[in-house]
Amino acid sequence: MKATLVANLTQAWQTLHQQGLLPDPNPERIEVVSTKDPKHGDYACNLALVLAREANLNARDLAEQIIQNLPENPDLLSTEVAGPGFINFQLRPEAKAEIVDQVLSQATNYGTRPPGSEQRILIEYVSANPTGPLHVGHGRGAALGSCLARILEAAGHTVECEYFINDAGRQMDILAISVWLRYLELCGEPVIFPEAGYQGDYILDIAADCHRTRGDVWRASFENIRAGAPDDGPDEDGHNMYLDFLILRTRDFLDETIWTELASVAVDTLLERIRRDLDHFGASFDYWQSERELLDDGKVEQTIAQLREAGHLYELEGALWFRSSEFGDEKDRVVQRSNGQWTYFATDIAYHADKMARSYGTAINIWGADHHGYAGRVRAALQALGIDPERLEILLVQFASLYRGKQKISMSTRSGEFVTLQSLQHEVGQDAARFFYVMRKSDQHLDFDLQLATEQSVDNPVYYVQYAHARICSILERAKDEEINIPEDPCDLSPLTDEGERALQKQLSRYPDAVLRSAQEREPHHLTVYLRKLAQEFHAYYNAVAVLVDELPVCQARLRLIMAVRQTLGNGLNLLNIDAPESM
């Protein structure tokens, strides 16, 4: 309907253009909106207000002229000028009711665009370091990414998802030493565990596994390893020299293959668990890209060589720097340390260059807000490589602070203090957890109160929406029991005259916009807001009007209406990967 109105308005604009009153028509400037207040009709357009200035005309007069030149539209009851110069369209009741048949005939496709009609998009999300289990802080990215993937698909994009595994660098050494020291303890060695090692219980589990399968073969004397080590704890610069010392000595002591195996056993175990948790959470991935592999395949060297050839690198104090400041970054960045090792930034450049070369129109990264300073340098690198940095979208997700009542829970992977995503799902449930995560704008801080989510889970808005769906199913079930003929095909909808029925029809017609807007803005919360509104209108209607009435034509029209509501609720919940239950 909106599209038809835009077409009508374009035609009127064209006529006025030929009369020399208006500039060339541009349909993109025509904004038709669904009105909030029924007094303003069903749709409103501000075109006259927008053009009044450049046409040098009074807005109301111009609106009148536009209306004079609109073509016949049989769906319209009235078209009038209102307020300062709005054009309000009032639909005929039959035209409004069409939405019900439209929803039901399109069924699961209602609100979607044809698959593959838009861009090909890669979403990279979560990508948590494989040094510990996922915790509630990762949940927000997981929920956002997986919802966005579905929403973008519904909007006609072709979407693939990727997890970048940071399985290289210093953190792998810390992981390996942490596991190995716990292993030594199991062998009976007295160990002084560094405070900067990974403290979590999951390290013990991995160590126990190693000890069970391998016995004492990796054992060494801790006393020998530790000989000459500095005291545990951070120095003035915050570095833990004790930890570094242990890592160095151990790598000397143990065969390199054992060291590598230690790290890979730990990473594999943790990744397995991460995969499982994400799967249970409803987040799935097409690709798992390893950082290690990029290094081993020489991709990093290649990409850096490319930068060097283009003259974007220089040496300073033994390190290799990238002139990112010439591409809008705050300052230049090191890509290769003076000890010859690549920085994480170097592998990340290679990763992004590789990603952008894989024929995606757009790549979306979902990052925690603490990485925001990083966006500039990655974009700078892409630009230096001749890749349009606009093709990389970086969505920053603000942190979720976790509370148990008024008590804030601080989390850190290293200290082992955190609430895992798994336990959150266990306590709150997948549906509520996902809904809770995406119901706020992602650039908004989120307070996640475990107490509220568990103790008062009945007040959680997700149940409100699901309940509406279940109630409709229940009515339909009852109708079947009473052998009322449930109309499978369009029937006469003229009995739908109640205010609540009009409101529901209007709300149904807004669904495609909610999906599209969520997709365009990369903000699933528009969809949650929409679903709550639709559920609210249904609950109000339910309490005001009985569906199963004796008068068959009325009853059937109402059944069609609530079936359309059920379909739309189900479609929306499905995009959030939340269950639409038939009973509760």
Minimum CB–partner distance for residue 478 and RNA (Å):
5
Which amino acid makes up residue 390? E
What is 93-141 written as a DSSP string? HHHHHHHHHHHHHHGGGTT---TTSS-EEEEE-----TTS--BHHHHHH
Using the contact rule CB under 7 A, the part of the chain among 29-37, 156-164, 190-198, 357-365 near RNA is: 29-37
Please, what is the Cα angle at 497 between 42 and 112, to 5 degrees?
A: 50
What contacts 138, CB < 8 A, 6 or more positions away?
A: 126, 128, 421
| CB of 305 or CB of 316, closer to RNA | 316
Minimum CB–partner distance for residue 572 and RNA (Å):
15
Minimum CB–partner distance for residue 40 and RNA (Å):
4
| CB of 192 or CB of 549, closer to RNA | 549
Residue 117: CB atoms within 10 A of its CB come to 11
Minimum CB–partner distance for residue 80 and RNA (Å):
9
Interaction residues for RNA, span 449-488 (CB under 7 A): 458-459, 461, 463-464, 467, 470-471, 473-475, 478
Please say whether the beta carbons of 393 and 522 come within 8 A: yes
Coil/strand/helix, residue 535: helix
Please give the span between the terminal C-alpha atoms of the chain, in angstroms, as a whole number: 36
CA dist list (Å): 259 to 165, 225, 252, 254:
19, 14, 10, 7
Minimum CB–partner distance for residue 472 and RNA (Å):
9
Coil/strand/helix, residue 194: coil
| CB of 191 or CB of 476, closer to RNA | 476
| CB of 104 or CB of 394, closer to RNA | 394
| CB of 277 or CB of 291, closer to RNA | 291
Beta strand residue intervals within 7-157, DSSP E: 32-34, 43-45, 76-82, 86-91, 120-124
Interaction residues for RNA, span 341-360 (CB under 7 A): 341, 343-345
Interaction residues for RNA, span 46-75 (CB under 7 A): 46, 49-50, 52-53, 59
Minimum CB–partner distance for residue 212 and RNA (Å):
29
Minimum CB–partner distance for residue 374 and RNA (Å):
5
Minimum CB–partner distance for residue 44 and RNA (Å):
3
Q: Is 271 in the site for RNA (CB under 7 A)?
A: no
Interaction residues for RNA, span 312-341 (CB under 7 A): 316-319, 330, 333-334, 337-339, 341
What contacts 94, CB < 8 A, 6 or more positions away?
A: 493, 494
For helices 93-106 and 552-575, give the axis angle rounded to 10 degrees. Answer: 50
Residue 226: CB atoms within 10 A of its CB come to 15
Interaction residues for RNA, span 523-552 (CB under 7 A): 523, 525-526, 529, 532, 536, 539-540, 542-548
Q: Pull the structure tokens for residue 541.
A: 């209607």
Interaction residues for RNA, span 398-437 (CB under 7 A): 398-399
**CA-closest candidate to residue 425, choices 277, 284, 525, 528:** 277
Minimum CB–partner distance for residue 201 and RNA (Å):
22
**Residue among 166, 199, 250, 290 that touches RNA (CB under 7 A):** 166
Minimum CB–partner distance for residue 361 and RNA (Å):
23
Q: Is 568 in the site for RNA (CB under 7 A)?
A: no
Minimum CB–partner distance for residue 248 and RNA (Å):
15
Q: Pull the structure tokens for residue 128.
A: 């948590």
Using the contact rule CB under 7 A, the part of the chain among 102-110, 208-216, 252-260, 311-319 near RNA is: 311-319
CA dist list (Å): 448 to 184, 368, 395, 451:
39, 16, 20, 9
Please say whether the beta carbons of 414 and 198 come within 8 A: yes
Instruction: State the residue for tokens 């030149």.
Output: 69
Q: Is 446 in the site for RNA (CB under 7 A)?
A: yes
Q: Pull the structure tokens for residue 503.
A: 């409101």
| CB of 528 or CB of 577, closer to RNA | 528
Instruction: Compute how many residues bind RNA; rule: CB under 7 A.
Output: 88
| CB of 217 or CB of 548, closer to RNA | 548
Strand order in the sheet with 362-368: 287-290, 158-165, 120-124, 362-368, 392-397
**H-run or E-run covering 480:** helix 461-481
Minimum CB–partner distance for residue 85 and RNA (Å):
7
Q: Is 241 in the site for RNA (CB under 7 A)?
A: no
Using the contact rule CB under 7 A, the part of the chain among 18-26, 252-260, 353-361, 518-526 near RNA is: 518-526
**Residue among 188, 228, 311, 373 that touches RNA (CB under 7 A):** 373
Q: Is 299 in the site for RNA (CB under 7 A)?
A: no
Interaction residues for RNA, span 172-231 (CB under 7 A): none
CA dist list (Å): 288 to 271, 344, 349:
10, 18, 17
Using the contact rule CB under 7 A, the part of the chain among 111-119, 169-177, 223-231, 298-306 near RNA is: 169-177
Please say whether the beta carbons of 202 and 133 come within 8 A: yes
Report how far residue 129's alpha carbon sits from residue 423's, in angstroms, rounded to the nearest whole number: 19
**Residue among 192, 208, 305, 584 that touches RNA (CB under 7 A):** 584
